[in-house]
Amino acid sequence: MKVLQAVAFTLSCGLALPQAVAAQGQAVLEDAWVRALPPTQTNTAAYMTVRNPGSEPLTISGGSTALAERVELHDTAEVDGMLRMRQQESVTVPAGGSVDFAPGGLHLMLLGLERMPAAGEVLELCLDIDGESVCTEAETRRTPAGSGHDHQHHQ
């Protein structure tokens, strides 16, 4: 993640300049990955952590990646024992905080894929944050790195 640290460093340098204190461009996108699904699928999901080191909240209003027709912000909620995805108009990242797009919760939905990316393939994934496009590299994986899909929902 050296590249992302370099980006964060550049951004904080920018903030030190007079009159460069814009709310835009402060977001740091970390640990982005795309879920690899069977090639017959035309949609998949992507995940990442969006950090906001700035002093103003940031608003994510959408996203894009070359392979997908469109990218939507989705949340997952349990309704009557069923997990359902709901599109979100926007997601706010609080000042000094972060938002996790992760399996079982908020995620980026990649819709209308030209083709399913292969495991290991790296996509450029961009988010629209306060009117600016902020991009990161997202590796395609079959499962999250270092963790299985073993949520503990039982009481």
The answer to whether 36 and 117 have CB atoms below 8 angstroms apart is: yes
Both structure tokens of 21:
């204190």
Contact pick of 6, 20, 77, 85 for Cu ion (by CB under 5 A): 85
112: tokens are: 């209308």
Among residue numbers 5 through 24, which ones bind Cu ion (CB under 5 A)? Answer: none
Count of residues that bind Cu ion according to CB under 5 A? 3
Residue 74 interacts with Cu ion (CB under 5 A)? yes
Q: Is 35 in the site for Cu ion (CB under 5 A)?
A: no
Q: Where are the beta strands (DSSP E) in 5-131?
A: 28-35, 44-51, 58-65, 68-79, 82-88, 91-93, 98-101, 107-113, 122-129
The answer to whether the CB of 59 falls within 8 A of the CB of 92 is yes
Does residue number 109 form part of the binding site for Cu ion (CB under 5 A)?
yes
Q: Measured from the CB atom, is 15 or 109 closer to Cu ion?
A: 109
Tell me the window of 2-10, 33-41, 105-113, 141-149 that interacts with Cu ion (CB under 5 A): 105-113
Q: Does 95 bind Cu ion (CB under 5 A)?
A: no
Q: Which residues sit at the interface with Cu ion, rule CB under 5 A?
A: 74, 85, 109
